Amino acid sequence: MSTWERIRPRGDMFMWGIIFILSIWGLLAIYSSTGALAYKKNGGNVEMYLMQQAALLCVGFFIMFVIHTIHYKYFIGLSKLLLWITYPLLIYTLIFGIEINGAKRWVNFFGITIQSSDIAKLAIIMFVTRELSRKQETIDDFKKTFLPILGHITLICLLIAPENLSTALVLFSTCFLILFIGRVKIKHLLLITGVVALAGGLFFTTLFLLPENALKGTGRLLTWKNRIESFGKKETDPDKTFQNDHAKIAIASGGLFGKWPGNSTERNFLPEAYSDFIYAIIAEEYGLVGALLMLILYLFFLYRAMRMVLKSPKAFGALIAVGLSFSLVLQALINMAVAVNVFPVTGLTLPLVSKGGTSILLTSVAFGIIMSVSRYVEQDEPETEAENNIQENTLTAGHE
- Binding site residues, another protein, CB under 8 A: 36-37, 39-40, 136, 177, 180-183, 212-213, 216-217, 238-239, 242, 245-246, 248-249, 251-256, 265-266, 268-273, 283, 288, 291-292, 295, 299, 302-303, 306, 309-310, 315, 318, 322, 326, 329-330, 333, 336-337, 340-342, 390, 392-393, 395-396
CB of 4 to another protein, least distance (A): 33
Q: Which is nearer to another protein, 245 or 378 (CB)?
A: 245
91 versus 141: smaller Cβ distance to another protein:
141
Whether the Cβ atoms of residue 92 and residue 399 lie closer than 8 Å to each other: no
Shortest Cβ 269–another protein spacing (Å): 5
For the CB of residue 118, give the shortest distance to another protein in the complex, in Å: 21
Closest CB 334 distance from another protein, rounded Å: 9
Residue placing its CB nearer to another protein in the complex, 37 or 120: 37
Q: Judged by CB, which is closer to another protein: 85, or 296? A: 296
CB nearer to another protein: pick between 119 and 334: 334
Q: How far apart are CA 49 and CA 57, in angstroms?
A: 12
**CB-nearer residue toward another protein: 6 or 216:** 216
**Nearest distance, CB of residue 20 and another protein, angstroms:** 22
- In the complex, minimum distance from the CB of residue 164 to another protein, in angstroms, rounded to a whole number: 21
